[in-house]
Amino acid sequence: MTDQDIRSVGAQLITARNLTKKFGDFTAVDKINFNIKKGEIMGFLGPNGAGKTTTIKMMTGLFRITSGDVWIKGLEVKKDINQIKKFIGYMSQKFSLYPLLNAYENIEFWGGVSGLSRKVIKEKKGLISNEIPKEILNQQVKDIPPGIKQRIALFSCLISDPEIILLDEPTSGVDPEVRRNFWTKIYELKKQGKTILVTTHNLDEAEYADRILIIHQGRIILKGEPSELMKARKTDSMENLFKRVVTNHETN
Amino acid sequence: MRIFYLFKKELIEILRQKEMLVLIFVAPILQTIVLGYVVTTDVKNIPVQVVNLSQTQDAYRIVNRINHSSLFDVKKISHIPEDYISIFKKGTAKAIIILRDGFNEGRRNLNYPEVQILMDGIDANTSGIAAGYFNGIVRHYIMTDIQKKGIEFPLKNKTVIRFNPNLESINYMGPGIVALLLTIISMFFTSIAIVREKEQQTMDTLLISRLTPIEIYTGKALPMALLGLIEMGIGILVVVLVFGIFIRGNLGYLLLAAAIFLFANLSYALLISTLCTSQQQALFFSWFSMVLFLLLSGLFTPVENIPSAFRWLADINPLRYLIRIIREIFLKGNDITYFINDLLIMSGITVVILSLSLFNFKRMVSK
Amino acid sequence: MKRIKAVVLKEAFHILRDPKSLAILFLLPVVMILVLGYSLSFDLKNIETVVIDYSQSELSRSLIQKFSHNQTYSVTQMVKGEGSQSPEETAEEMLKSGEIKQFIIIPQDFSSRIKKGLISHIGVVIDGSDSNIANIVHQYNEMLTFGFISELRDLKDIFQISTKLYFNPENKSVFYIIPGLVAVIMIMISALLTSLSVSREKETGSIELLFISPLQSHEIVLGKTVPYVFIALIEGALILAFARVMFRIPFRGNLWILLVFSLVYIVTGLSLGITISTMASSQKVAMMATLLITLLPSILLSGFIFPLDSLSPILRAFSYIVPATYFLEVIRGLILKGAGWKHFASQGLILIGFSVLFLVIASVKFSQQRKAGK
């Protein structure tokens, strides 16, 4: 880590102010405010339809921001998204791998499209071969089991070595073992100094994150460190915490 | 070049769909060959029934001529009147020739048998031509006979048919069929290219990559263009070899015209792609517009006959211009100056539609 | 039976829940028959002709009049060519560019030769690129010049040739085209309706539910076909209504019999569609295959545009496996000619035979795939 890195550990890398998204009359995300510190793992929790995906899509420029803004590394998403794209990596809910291509071809594609040189792409292919057997990697993605697909997808997402990693429901539909390996990988990334945002509807995964945000019906109803939150509310599991907070929110 | 990777991916995806490959390459070319043979609109073997109510030699001779003509398939020769409507209704004959001894306006005997040609008017196309042939046979007979009697038939038409001396309609239709099949293929596949990406949910990640919307757009359209060009080449080769069509004009112009045509079609397909939310819809619309384009192109029926209310459909139809150009090149061997307009119009259509679809695409990706 | 009903209901709900597709399905054929019905026509409206008259005599003028007074011809005289070109050269240019369909050259000695009793020739150059039109033009020319000479030589009194067109006295090509369009559109739409049915389930994966259900393969196939009959029938009726009302195609036969035959034909289309559906792995493949199988053959090999009698034996054989061929015979005979239904019993039976064949193939394919555990 450089001096600047040391100084900026803990500094706010991503800031959202009054971020809002409306689809016609329907407000999907309602004036949310949050920040993500450099080098932390932030978890966005919430049931399906809460607005997690919409928020990420606004951060990546896929959705137009209705009002408010997001700053990433000091740059405004509304204005400089093209610059911002250079240092973010994104993994969508469906893993964004091409089913008809095999793993190598997918990696080559995503690497090439990110601007990596042929030499580097070759290296990357070699890297993944160390983790996953070649026979599997040579299969078309549609025939690869979901757990391995997820790892390949993650690999592709990281191929350009981005500073900031946005993962939308990366653990949906995978078994607990795979999920555990995933989080191990995430910790490794954190150690490398990366900043990671993960959305999930699995509340028990919250404990893996440094900080969490609970989103419900487009609003942030809770934020903070998981362990402290649970202590404060005198609950022993995220699920109960969530239930209590949501009921509170709904009755207010 | 980053776009090269997109190009490569598209090609891989296309080539890995075996069924589509068959549908793209094998089926159309097979159909071209089979249908190319069909497309002899040369009318012949018309089933005809002859009713000869005249006893004269002339009548018999005329009947003979008809019998020996390859244009007609004489089913029956009778000497008593028949129920003509019933014959037509049953479909046993499409034409009935009645010969009888008739009278002229002055109530005097005609020198030659009165010939009545009854046609089944339902096959309107054939009836016109067939009636003409009958007329010709009878006329010819009368003329020759009159001449034998010493009366000169003083006027003869010396008719020359330009560009297609044997009046073989394959020369006319064959290239058109190729164009048509290209239309099917390119439109179909391209229109689902963009929608497929949406459905596969890879579009988002694609957009976040460093590729700009224009690059994504081009990267998806180009592989299809390439395949289309290859197929076009094969198609034209097949048509020329199998049917022996002689390309009188410049082959280079033909390829140029076909390439522009391909791009015009692709731009329509892309436009459809950006307007639809599912592959099914995209397929529907490209299928629908393809049928319209096909039938309103001048390939089967003349464009001049289209009423002004619908004429604009033919005007924005790239196939219409290509058919014209093909005929010019294949048959007339015309120089580019004759169809430069058509080329320009096709290019114009391409540019306009392409811009529209690009505009739409951008709008579509920034929600 | 009850089990088939369950499949039918499920399929029906599926159809009804997608009103957008339904709307398109109805709109499409209507638009097609409207646009195409009005736009397709074989009628030759104008034979653009240029006459170069070197004779400038009473006779030559009278000959030219014969052409110019004819409705079908559009005659202009050319006295001299453009720029330094001779009239013939200019006329050739006009022929090449498609401005004119033919040009006629009347030689200087035209009149004098005829008066002397010698043979006179006129030169006619026709654009042959459209062989159909060239043929017709040639025929017309011959008839006109023949008429001219017969009048001249008072030969009118020695022969008489007349033509009468049954069922379509005005020789309107609409009579010819609309039935054909109806046949083509009906089978395309019917096949399309069902072609997506099974392949859609393959795509979404819900076909596995069908595979493990206690239903037999043929029950599934039937159940998936039946609900579309109703839709297709409505569409068919719509198309026919349009044909009658907008294009004034006379319906000389029994309407109910027509509907029965239409039903049979529609079922053939539906069965074809479902067969394609079982063999295609995805919807887009199914759609494309349906299009390729129904469109061109129905247009080219059914007798719609090209008369079947003229086809070579091989192709004629192909036409026997095109369902549209049979329905076209029925429509033309029943509706336009007013023939009795008995004449078409065999066509009806053949179509039913097709339906049965297709449904059997579909069921067999379905079982095969089921057993293979795909």
pLDDT at C166 over 80: no
Asked whether the beta carbons of C164 and B119 are under 8 A apart, the reply is yes
Query: What count of other Cβ atoms lies within 10 Å of the Cβ of residue A126?
Result: 9
User: Which of B42, B115, B188 lies nearest to residue C310, judging by beta carbons?
Assistant: B42
pLDDT at C57 over 80: yes
Q: Which residue of A has its CA nearest to B15?
A: A100
Convert the pLDDT of each residue in C66-96 to its tens digit: 899 888 888 988 888 778 888 888 888 888 8
- Quote the tokens at residue B29: 């070319």
* pTM, rounded to two decimals: 0.76
Q: Is B37 on the interface with A (CB under 8 A)?
A: no
Convert the pLDDT of each residue in A221-252 to its tens digit: 888 888 887 777 777 777 777 777 777 777 76
Interface of C with B in 35-94 (CB under 8 A): 35-36, 38-46
B288 or B317: which leads in pLDDT: B317
Q: Which residue of A has its CA nearest to B14?
A: A100
Reported as half-sphere exposure (CB side, CA atoms, 13 A), residue B308 has a value of: 0
CB contact under 8 A, B204 and A96: yes
Of C64, C163, C159, C103, the residue nearest B153 (C-alpha): C159
Of B214, B222, B269, the residue nearest B14 (C-alpha): B222
pLDDT at B108 over 80: no
CB contact under 8 A, B210 and A86: yes
User: Which of C124, C306, C332 lies nearest to residue B158, judging by beta carbons?
Assistant: C124
Query: What count of other Cβ atoms lies within 10 Å of the Cβ of residue B241?
Result: 9
Chain C residues close to B105, C-beta within 8 Å: 157
- Backbone phi, psi, residue B216, to 5°: -60, -45
**What pLDDT is attached to residue A228?**
81
pLDDT, averaged across chain A: 85
Spatial CB neighbours of A163, under 8 Å, sequence gap ≥ 6: A73, A87, A88, A193, A194, A195
pLDDT at C284 over 50: yes
Asked whether the beta carbons of A47 and A245 are under 8 A apart, the reply is no
- Quote the tokens at residue B137: 């046979």
Of B165, B70, B132, B299, the residue nearest C312 (C-alpha): B70
Chain B residues close to A92, C-beta within 8 Å: 201-202, 204-205
CB contact under 8 A, B155 and C122: yes
Q: What is the average pLDDT across B214-237?
A: 78
Q: Is C24 on the interface with B (CB under 8 A)?
A: yes
CA C9 vs. chain centroid, Å, equals 36
> Diameter of chain A by CA atoms?
59
% residues pLDDT > 90 (chain C): 17
Chain B residues close to A88, C-beta within 8 Å: 208
B162 or A133: which leads in pLDDT: A133
- Chain B: closest CA distance from residue A205 (Å): 24
Q: Which of A98, A102, A106 is the mutation pick for testing B, counting most B CBs within 10 A?
A: A98
Residues C257, C241: Cα–Cα separation, whole Å: 15
Spatial CB neighbours of A119, under 8 Å, sequence gap ≥ 6: none
CB-based touch C/A (3+ pairs, under 8 A): no
pLDDT at A7 over 50: no
Asked whether the beta carbons of C42 and C49 are under 8 A apart, the reply is no
pLDDT at C326 over 90: yes
**What pLDDT is attached to residue C374?**
43
CB pairs under 8 A between A and B: 77
Q: Three-state DSSP class for C33?
A: helix
CB contact under 8 A, A92 and B201: yes
Of B295, B30, B288, the residue nearest C192 (C-alpha): B288
pLDDT band at C125 (very low <50, low <70, confident <90, very high): very high
Asked whether the beta carbons of C309 and C198 are under 8 A apart, the reply is no
**What pLDDT is attached to residue B273?**
79
Chain B residues close to A112, C-beta within 8 Å: 2, 4-5
Separation in Å, CA C273 to CA C109, C195, C291, C319: 68, 4, 10, 19
Q: Is the dihedral of CA A223, A229, A235, A237 positive or negative?
A: positive
pLDDT band at C124 (very low <50, low <70, confident <90, very high): very high
Q: Which residue of B has its CA nearest to C33?
A: B292
pLDDT band at C51 (very low <50, low <70, confident <90, very high): very high
pLDDT at B100 over 80: yes
Residues B321, B299: Cα–Cα separation, whole Å: 11
Chains contacting chain B through 3 or more C-beta pairs under 8 A: A, C
Q: Is B159 on the interface with C (CB under 8 A)?
A: yes
- Backbone phi, psi, residue C50, to 5°: -115, 130
Q: Is the dihedral of CA A64, A70, A73, A79 positive or negative?
A: positive
Range with lowest mean pLDDT among B84-98, B197-211, C258-272, C352-366 = B197-211
**What pLDDT is attached to residue A6?**
46
CB-based touch A/B (3+ pairs, under 8 A): yes
SS3 content of chain C, % helix, strand, coil (to 5): 70, 10, 25
Chain B residues close to C134, C-beta within 8 Å: 161, 164, 167
Cross-sheet strand order for the sheet of A26-37: A26-37, A12-23, A67-72, A75-76
pLDDT at A186 over 70: yes
Q: What is the average pLDDT across B326-335?
A: 71
**What pLDDT is attached to residue B172?**
63
Q: Is B8 on the interface with A (CB under 8 A)?
A: yes
- The burial class, CB within 10 Å (0-12 / 13-18 / 19+), for C217 is buried
Separation in Å, CA A216 to CA A207, A221, A248, C72, C210: 18, 7, 12, 77, 38
Convert the pLDDT of each residue in B299-310 to its tens digit: 777 787 788 888
CA C183 vs. chain centroid, Å, equals 8
Residues B337, C96: Cα–Cα separation, whole Å: 11
Asked whether the beta carbons of A8 and A38 are under 8 A apart, the reply is yes
ipTM: 0.77
pLDDT at A1 over 50: no
- Chain B: closest CA distance from residue C290 (Å): 10
CB contact under 8 A, B6 and A113: yes
Asked whether the beta carbons of A53 and A199 are under 8 A apart, the reply is yes
- Chain C: closest CA distance from residue B4 (Å): 26
User: Which of A64, A99, A113 lies nearest to residue B5, judging by beta carbons?
Assistant: A113
B320 or C159: which leads in pLDDT: B320
- Strands A67-72 and A12-23, bridge-based pairing: antiparallel
pLDDT at A137 over 80: yes
Q: Which helix (H) or strand (E) holds C45?
A: none
C169 or B46: which leads in pLDDT: B46
Q: What is the average pLDDT across C235-264?
A: 86
Q: Left, alpha or beta for C47 (phi > 0: left; psi -120 to 50: alpha)?
A: beta
Query: What count of other Cβ atoms lies within 10 Å of the Cβ of residue B64?
Result: 11
- The burial class, CB within 10 Å (0-12 / 13-18 / 19+), for B286 is buried
**What pLDDT is attached to residue B205?**
75
- Chain B: closest CA distance from residue A95 (Å): 8
CB contact under 8 A, B204 and A92: yes
> Diameter of chain C by CA atoms?
95
Spatial CB neighbours of A86, under 8 Å, sequence gap ≥ 6: B210
Q: What is the average pLDDT across A176-203?
A: 89
B319 or B227: which leads in pLDDT: B319
Q: Which of B8, B13, B204 is the mutation pick for testing A, counting most A CBs within 10 A?
A: B204
pLDDT band at A122 (very low <50, low <70, confident <90, very high): very high
Range with lowest mean pLDDT among B278-282, B314-318, C94-98 = B278-282
- Strands A195-200 and A26-37, bridge-based pairing: unpaired
CA C105 vs. chain centroid, Å, equals 37
Convert the pLDDT of each residue in A65-114 to its tens digit: 899 999 998 888 888 888 888 888 888 877 778 888 899 999 998 888 88
Residues C230, C236: Cα–Cα separation, whole Å: 10
- Chain B: closest CA distance from residue A153 (Å): 11
- Backbone phi, psi, residue C254, to 5°: -80, 125
B330 or C289: which leads in pLDDT: C289
Alpha helices in chain B (DSSP H): 2-15, 18-21, 27-38, 57-68, 84-90, 124-148, 169-200, 203-208, 213-243, 251-275, 279-295, 308-315, 318-327, 336-365
Convert the pLDDT of each residue in B238-278 to its tens digit: 777 777 666 666 677 777 887 888 888 888 888 887 887 77
pLDDT band at B124 (very low <50, low <70, confident <90, very high): low
Residues B14, B10: Cα–Cα separation, whole Å: 6
% residues pLDDT > 90 (chain B): 2
Q: Is C285 on the interface with B (CB under 8 A)?
A: yes
Chain B residues close to A98, C-beta within 8 Å: 9, 13, 200, 202
Asked whether the beta carbons of A36 and A12 are under 8 A apart, the reply is yes
CB contact under 8 A, B211 and A113: yes
Q: Which of B41, B129, B140, B155 is the mutation pick for testing C, counting most C CBs within 10 A?
A: B155
Q: Is C106 on the interface with B (CB under 8 A)?
A: no
pLDDT at C349 over 90: yes
Asked whether the beta carbons of A228 and A207 are under 8 A apart, the reply is no
- Quote the tokens at residue B264: 């015009």
